[in-house]
Structure 1
Amino acid sequence: MHPIVESLRDTLIVSCQAYPGEPMRHPETMAQIAASVQRGGASAVRAQGLEDIRAVKDAVTIPVIGIWKDGTEGVFITPTLNHCLAVIDAGADILALDGTLRPRPDGRTLAETITAVRERFDGPIMADCDSLDAALAAADLGIDIIGTTLAGYTPARPKTSGPDLELLAELADRLPDTAALIAEGRVHTPSHAASCRDTGAHAVVVGTAITHPATITGWFREALTES
């Protein structure tokens, strides 16, 4: 297991992202949030977009998981080889990309993409998966980290109200020891995070519940206005 991946064992990773058009959608703001969550004990941060990756990399000393979202439909998380190489060049310590079985925009298979990336990058790669089959296929390619990031966001599985613990349990039982299982997606409370760890996650990613004030505010507002 890569030393960076091993260093994440039993830790919290924080995803520092804001959606386009939001007040916090600025690389400097995301870098400040990243520095704040490092102070709070995050072992790594996940950053989206080339400018954010560069800014966050300058602001923290912990590993940066880099992605590039391009579009909103189909495969859009670091969807092509060119996106992967740009994320690496921006300074990401860990490259994350769509790890589903869906066709990729540049026509390459995931295997072809990984082979080409390995010619340029010897750091860890994370596959954002949506199902058991996709995760096992990614692990067979030698991908270092398998994330449940996209479970519930494609037709492969229904969307659960919290983390997909059923998928997490299946993966904990079937993934090889060479692949680290990271829980990501709808981890909204400390209890959710602990449940992910207890189910077998190597590490847990939390995003919205820590770094998205608009959504968190909405949760409280709804609680106070429910009849």
Structure 2
Amino acid sequence: MDIKNEILNKIKGGLIVSCQALKTEPLYDSYIMSKMAYAAMLGGAVGIRANTIVDILAIRERVDLPIIGIIKEEYPDSDVYITPTMKEVDALVEIGCDIIATDATNRTRPDGKSFEEFFKEVRAKYPDQLFMADTSCFEEGKLAAELGFDLIGTTMAGYTPYTKGRKLPDCELIERYSSELDKPIIAEGGIWCPDDLKAVYKAGAFSAVCGTAITRPMDITKRFVKALED
């Protein structure tokens, strides 16, 4: 079995836990994220999604699971911030990320390139790397599959101007992806409870990512407080 298939088999049918904290959040610390990932592994997670080189390296020291690596970087001339340019891809490849995820939406990249132009260069430079497309709608997933992405994710569904208001998790998109695209589908976004996880698998997901509901206690607390206010 080659390395790519070995990684895919490890994450198939399980739960990938996203362990991320932004600079504005109280848990922003590589040590804390490594502990979050370790706790997720002990709980049965099959993979970790993580942001920034320092967090990924810290997590790898404690956790022996496939890692979906991203770098969130904001540029003034674009709304794309998940692994937006070749610079971030290079950095993630350099540390040996198992899977690299990048925004695959129909929006101009920070360097002025289209998504298609950007990924054609990426794939030519790194033909053997596993890449995951963070998409928001079917047209984006279809194009990503044609361009050579290995996995198609629903990460950005509901987060682009043209998909705002979509019910999450987007089981309708997952179902269409799984029936029309010959690629592993990663359900991500809006998985708040075990029933949501069951629903995305019923819709045809290959694997699923859950983040906020597990690793963001501030947002979890806000959700409970809002319930009291309502």
- TM-score normalised to structure 2 length: 0.91
Please identify runs of 4+ aligned residues in structure 1 that moved more than 4 A: none
Gap regions ≥5 residues in structure 1: none
Please list, as runs of the form range in 1=range in 2, the aligned pairs for 1:1-227 lying within 5 A after superposition: 2-71=5-74, 74-118=79-123, 119-120=125-126, 122-176=128-182, 179-226=183-230
AA partner of residue 5 (structure 1): L
CA distance in 2, matches of 1:159, 1:211: 24
Unmatched tracts of structure 2, length 5 or more: none
Write the distance in 1 (CA, Å) between the matches of 2:116 and 2:90.
15
**Structure 2 residue matching 1:205: 3-state secondary structure:** strand
Note the alpha carbon deviations across 1:99-122, whole angstroms, 9 max, x for none: 112111123443444344343462
Alpha-carbon distance in structure 2 between the residues aligned to 1:56 and 1:91? 13
**CA contact 2:187–2:205 (8 Å) conserved in 1:** yes
Range that drifts further, 78-87 or 121-130? 121-130
CA contact (8 A) 2:11 2:66 kept: no
Considering only aligned residues, what root-mean-square deviation do their CA atoms show, in Å? 1.7
Superposed displacement of residue 89, structure 1:
1.5
